[in-house]
Structure 1
Amino acid sequence: MTDPILLWNEVALEANRVSHTNGKGEQTGPTLSSRALAIVHLAMYDAYAGVTNDPNLPPYLDLSALPSPGTGASVEAAVAAAAHTTLASLFPSQKPFFDAILAGAGDISNAGHVFGEKVAQALLNDRMNDPGAAAGDYKPSPQRGRHRPDPDNPGQGFHAPFYGARSKGFAITQRHMLAKPPLDNSEYLRALREVRVKGIAPELMGTLPENIDDRKRSIDETLIGIFWAYDGSAELGTPPRLYNQIVRRVAIAKGNTPAQNASLFALVNAAMGDAGILAWEQKYLYDFWRPVVGIREHDRSLGPAPTEADNNISDDCDPLWLPLGAPNTNSRNKNFTPNFPAYPSGHATFGAAALHITRLFYGISIGDRKPDNLFKDLDFVSEEFNGINTDNRGTVRPRHNRNFPGGLWQMIIENGRSRVDLGVHWVFDAFAVKNDGTPDLTKTDTDGKPFGGVPLGIKIAEDIFQAGAGKGPKKSTVLPSS
């Protein structure tokens, strides 16, 4: 029998891919993608839980307000109806595709179908006041260290400046906060020198200072940067799709039951839903500039609000620097720096939240920060390197089969740091680092707040997992902060 959770998870991931390809603008970008996937998977979870009445699957919503599914209600019909209803509401242009899947996998004559529809509508109603991703009245600051558009894509606009602060939580018990990112100190200068060398555009490598050959981006680092990208490109979608693909690989290898998958994918996508909220709240709280602006305007004589005149600019400044950039896969447009502030990294936060809550689901202890064996004997092909998709010159990238001996923990760290290799993030956007360059996930400010998206994602994962006693997401009572 087909697992209905895996089936409709695959449909939801396809919806994400198509939504970034068909030009309809439905649930596009990282924030709305994570929100949509959270809604769909929470609806599937509650439909499954409501029909089975399994004490190990406590409902997310208060299902007592809904009519009972009734005798003879099937899990398959309920899950199909819940998924179909949410997907059709979120991605209306794709409804014919969802209808076709429902015709083969659902049963509209079964009592479970009506129950699944009602669960889905209750979930949609619960999130109906969520903000969108529009820029609204956000205005970039001219001050040093503040986010401004990519100078190589000056008309890019701004993604979701009010989404984080104005969204209520999915399953968090508190709004986890981060320390202020470093600026103009030794830690910042070390990060600037790293990304200036590692993340530079290939055609500009000859402009780098001499005697740094050992610090330049390697072939492996270039591949890693692109491997984890999924920057909203056509035929690819966004990072939450990528992390779901990885979790699917683990779930299938582990031989999960449908009940286990209902719980796992609800936890994973609720965690990413909250990661999108909290990361974007912090992004626009600190409003921190990207490397493409920070490196070009490092000298205080440069930028829209220079503080001094200088005829001999700092050697750490390059006013013409450009990054390798987020890959504009399947397009002839230039690579780019994303249109939202750097700190914390969304990739790092989403990836840590999704993959760490998966680690917890499979028995890794709260507080564990070590490699695991959850990807033992497995491999993974990123669709950035699948032998089909093309770079922005129209050249097909080769298929690359990658394994992870350190398991999901290796992925969390590699995914976080990969953005430095593209030149679109500072390393502290993912995590603080020790003097030898390795992650320092224990570093905090004087108020105990950590640095970067990986610690934030881990906090989200552990919070949600503990709140739901490891069984499933518990509905958050956390309200918008503004």
Structure 2
Amino acid sequence: MTPFALPALEPFSSLPPPALSSSAYATALNQVQALGGKVSTLRTARDSETAVFWSDFSYTSMPPGHWHLIAEGIAVSQTNSLVDNARLFALLSLAQADTGILCWEAKFRYNLWRPVTAIQRADEDSNPLTHADPMWDHFLSSPPFPAYFSGHSSFSAASAVVLADFYGRDTLPFKASSDSLPGVARDYTSLADCADEVGMSRIYGGIHYSFDNTEGKEVGRKVGNYVSTHFLLPVSALPSVRVSQVRLGTVELTVQGRGTGRLELQVSEDLRTFVPLSSSMFVPGGWRYTDTNANFASKFYRAVETE
């Protein structure tokens, strides 16, 4: 599936999961076996509540919707304008959509079994550090698709990054509620900490390995950062073209950048196809270009960052 914002999947794709015979795999399997079982002496009451709070089963708003609800609350507390909200929720949706594409591509590329199957059949993994328990059951039901990597973790990391980039800081006070635990609310002061909690909730639920969580967050952060810095930039961050002077057949332009990279001046006669006229590195105060073949009534100019 073609991503909405990313230029391609490959630069953002996940690394493979650990081999079943590796110590990293055994460590992760043993952790979820201890913490994520239907009966666990290590999982606390708070951990169990965390698993349910962030479970986001199919009858709920699910992880993307859960983060949209969080974003709604933050937007109200930050007194966003209508334009702010249009931009924020478009960025959030773009990041979540492309994160989902990457996540499900990885799930079916690697086709890694869920912990409940892996633990019950650990005698088949050729790993002396794992121990089969045919009677083991997960605390929460596992979804009917492969494990690696975690959708909850990747959606949460991408959403947290987009929100932090939008407001210019990770430390924002906000409240989260849960469709899975009506009437229960939790208070947070850090978007990243909240995303970390969501990732751990899947281990407490017996649904994911720790490397599902770690890689999911890594991919989500990369997608969130890319979308925030390449799409729907605020007007104040965009390069501009200003007409300085118009003479017969000649237009003098001033091109102003907002960053430190290279700008390309482009022209179009139909607002659909733009062709380059000139390019320059960032110049304080802008740089000038004279189009000596200008029919001003039928030409449109724009500046774009090329690096």
- TM-score if structure 1 supplies the norm length? 0.46
- Give the match's secondary structure for 2:180: helix
The alpha-carbon deviation at position 379 of structure 1 amounts to: 2.3
- Give the match's secondary structure for 2:113: coil
Amino acid at match of 2:176: F
Contact 2:26 2:130 in 1 (8 A): no
- Give the match's secondary structure for 1:179: coil
Amino acid at match of 2:13: M
Q: Please list the CA deviations of residues 453-475 of structure 1 after superposition, one character each: whole Å capped at 9, or x if unmatched.
A: 10101111111112126339xxx
- Give the match's secondary structure for 1:403: strand
Contact 2:38 2:138 in 1 (8 A): yes
Distance 1:186 1:358 in 2: 36
Alpha-carbon RMSD across the aligned residues, in angstroms, is 2.0
From 319, 337, 342, the equivalent of 2:147 is 342
Distance 2:33 2:234 in 1: 44
Q: Please list the CA deviations of residues 93-135 of structure 1 after superposition, one character each: whole Å capped at 9, or x if unmatched.
A: xxxxxxxxxxxxxxxxxxxxxxxxxxxxxxxxxxxxxxxxxxx
Aligned equivalent of 1:351:
156
Aligned equivalent of 2:86:
262
> Which runs of 5 or more residues in structure 1 are unaligned?
1-166, 206-212, 326-335, 365-371, 387-398, 432-451, 473-482
Q: Please list the CA deviations of residues 375-420 of structure 1 after superposition, one character each: whole Å capped at 9, or x if unmatched.
A: 2xx322212221xxxxxxxxxxxx3221113x11111111111100
> Which runs of 5 or more residues in structure 2 are unaligned?
236-307
Q: Please list the CA deviations of residues 67-109 of structure 1 after superposition, one character each: whole Å capped at 9, or x if unmatched.
A: xxxxxxxxxxxxxxxxxxxxxxxxxxxxxxxxxxxxxxxxxxx
Which runs of 4 or more aligned residues in structure 1 lie more than 4 Å from their structure 2 counterparts after TM superposition? Answer: none
The alpha-carbon deviation at position 256 of structure 1 amounts to: 0.2
Distance 1:258 1:197 in 2: 48
Aligned equivalent of 2:4:
170
Q: Which has the larger radius of gyration?
A: 2
Q: Does 1:181 align with 2:28?
A: no
From 43, 50, 53, the equivalent of 1:227 is 53
Aligned equivalent of 1:463:
226
Q: Please list the CA deviations of residues 157-213 of structure 1 after superposition, one character each: whole Å capped at 9, or x if unmatched.
A: xxxxxxxxxx111111231111111132111111111100110013xx4xxxxxxx5
Answer 1 or 2: which has greater strand percent: 2
Contact 2:91 2:232 in 1 (8 A): no
Contact 1:173 1:464 in 2 (8 A): no
Q: Please list the CA deviations of residues 14-63 of structure 1 after superposition, one character each: whole Å capped at 9, or x if unmatched.
A: xxxxxxxxxxxxxxxxxxxxxxxxxxxxxxxxxxxxxxxxxxxxxxxxxx
Contact 2:29 2:130 in 1 (8 A): no
Q: Does 1:190 align with 2:27?
A: yes
Q: Please list the CA deviations of residues 323-364 of structure 1 after superposition, one character each: whole Å capped at 9, or x if unmatched.
A: 011xxxxxxxxxx21011101101111111122111111114
Q: Does 1:425 align with 2:208?
A: yes
Percent of residue pairs bearing the same amino acid type:
31
The alpha-carbon deviation at position 317 of structure 1 amounts to: 1.5
Distance 2:89 2:129 in 1: 49
Q: Please list the CA deviations of residues 418-458 of structure 1 after superposition, one character each: whole Å capped at 9, or x if unmatched.
A: 10000010011010xxxxxxxxxxxxxxxxxxxx1101011
* Paired residues for 1:331-480 under 5 Å: 336-364=141-169, 372-375=170-173, 378-386=174-182, 399-405=183-189, 407-431=190-214, 452-468=215-231, 470-471=233-234
Amino acid at match of 1:382: S
Distance 1:380 1:465 in 2: 23
Amino acid at match of 1:271: A
Aligned equivalent of 2:139:
324
Distance 2:13 2:65 in 1: 25
- TM-score if structure 2 supplies the norm length? 0.71
- Give the match's secondary structure for 1:379: strand
Distance 1:400 1:346 in 2: 23
Q: Does 1:243 align with 2:28?
A: no
The alpha-carbon deviation at position 237 of structure 1 amounts to: 3.3
From 276, 286, 302, the equivalent of 2:110 is 286
The alpha-carbon deviation at position 314 of structure 1 amounts to: 7.4
State the number of aligned residues.
232
Distance 1:254 1:237 in 2: 23
Distance 2:52 2:2 in 1: 32
* Paired residues for 1:41-60 under 5 Å: none
Instruction: Tell me: CA distance 1:172–1:471, structure 2 relative to 1, closer, same or farther (3 Å).
Output: farther
Instruction: Tell me: CA distance 1:314–1:454, structure 2 relative to 1, closer, same or farther (3 Å).
Output: closer
Q: Does 1:273 align with 2:97?
A: yes
Distance 2:97 2:38 in 1: 32
Distance 1:294 1:193 in 2: 10
Contact 1:289 1:341 in 2 (8 A): yes
Contact 2:30 2:130 in 1 (8 A): no
Distance 2:5 2:163 in 1: 15
Distance 1:314 1:269 in 2: 41
